[in-house]
Amino acid sequence: ILDSDKLIFERLQKEFEAARVAQTEEISIDDEQWNDGLLATIREKVHIEAERKAMVNLANIPTDSQFQSRTTYRIRNKVIYCLDGARIGIQYETFFAGEPCEIYHCVLESKSFLEKMTVTEHTLPFFLPIREVETDHLSSNAIRFIDHLEEILQSYIDRREQVRLIKELYGNQIGELFYSLPYTLIEFTLEDFECKVTVSIRYSDLILTLPSQARVLAWPLRSAKRISAADRRAQPVPSRLSYAENALKTLSLPEAYAEIVLELPRALKQMFYSQESD
C-alpha cells in the first residue's frame, strides 16, 4: 500500500468506526427494500443534516449531536452510513468460506440532493477499476454501482483466497506460480510427475469466481523412461488434458487441483499409450 493510500485507509477506517459508534439504530434491508427510493431518502437525510449543521454553526448555537438520530442500513454484506458533510459511506465486508476477510470503504458525495453523486474517496485496491464502474453506473443507476462494487470485491477475495489455499495445501507440488494483481490470470506448473504440466486459467470478468478459460498441457520430460532416444532429441509436443480443463471450469481451484492430481497418472498413462500406438 502506498503511503497516501495508507493514510486514506486509516482516516476512513477511523471515520467509519466513529459513525458506527455514534449510530442509534441499524436497519436490516432486504433486496426488495434496497431500491432507488431508499437511496434517495438516505441522500436527502445527509443533505438536510449538513444544512442543519451549517445553520447551527452560523447561528453559533451549541450542537446537540449526542441526541441526534444516527441510522445505518445493512444490505447483505455492506453497511451504509450517513457521514458528515452530506456524504454517504459504504462499508463492504468480504468473506471466504464463511470467515471474514478485508473490509473496504467507499465515500459518495454530491453538491446538492439533485446533483449526481461522485466517488470522493475509497480504500479499494488500486488495480480494481472503480473509476470505470463509476462512469458506467453511478450517475445512471447508483444502486447498480454500489452492488456491482460489492460483487467485484467479493469475487476478487474469492479468487485470491483460492490461490492462497492451493499454495498452502499443495505448495510442495507446485512449480512456478504466476497471477495478475486482480487474480484474473493464474498460471502454475506441476513437476512431480513424468510430465511437466502447465496450467493457465483466465477470468473474462471481474465478478467471476470460476474461470471462463482453462488450458492444461502435459509436456513429456526428456528424461521420462517411456520416451525413446529419438523422441528425446525431438522438440516435445504437449498434449491437452481436457478432464483437467473441465475440472478447473466447474470446481473451485483447490477442489479442481485435487481432482487433477488424482486423475493425472491414469490420464498420462492413457496419453502415452495412445502416442505409442500411433
In the chain, % of residues over pLDDT 70: 87
Q: Does residue 193 surpass a pLDDT of 70?
A: no
Reported for 161-170, long-range contacts at CB under 8 A and 24+ positions apart, including other chains, are 161/96, 161/97, 161/101, 162/209, 162/252, 162/253, 162/254, 163/253, 165/253, 165/254, 166/253, 166/254, 166/257, 169/254, 169/257, 170/254, 170/257, 170/261
Give the per-residue pLDDT at 66: 44
Q: Is residue 167 part of a domain?
A: no
Q: Does residue 10 surpass a pLDDT of 80?
A: yes
Residue 118 pairs with which residues in a beta bridge?
Answer: 109
Q: Is residue 126 part of a domain?
A: yes
User: Average pLDDT for residues 217-235, to the nearest whole number?
Assistant: 63
C-beta of residue 82 within 8 angstroms of C-beta of residue 73: no
Three cell numbers at 245?
480443463
* Number of compact structural domains in the chain: 2
Residues 20 and 45 in one domain: yes
C-beta of residue 67 within 8 angstroms of C-beta of residue 57: no
Residues 142 and 178 in one domain: no
Residues 84 and 147 in one domain: yes
Residues 19 and 106 in one domain: yes
Q: Does residue 146 surpass a pLDDT of 50?
A: yes
For 22, the domain range is 1-156
Q: Is residue 16 part of a domain?
A: yes
Split at pLDDT 50, 70, 90, the class of 60 is low
Stated pTM of the model: 0.89
Residues 138 and 54 in one domain: yes
Domain edge (last residue) among 99, 125, 156:
156
Residues 138 and 221 in one domain: no
Q: Other C-beta atoms within 10 Å of 116: how many?
A: 11
Split at pLDDT 50, 70, 90, the class of 67 is very low
Give CA–CA dist 60/240, Å, rounded.
76
Domain edge (last residue) among 96, 126, 156:
156
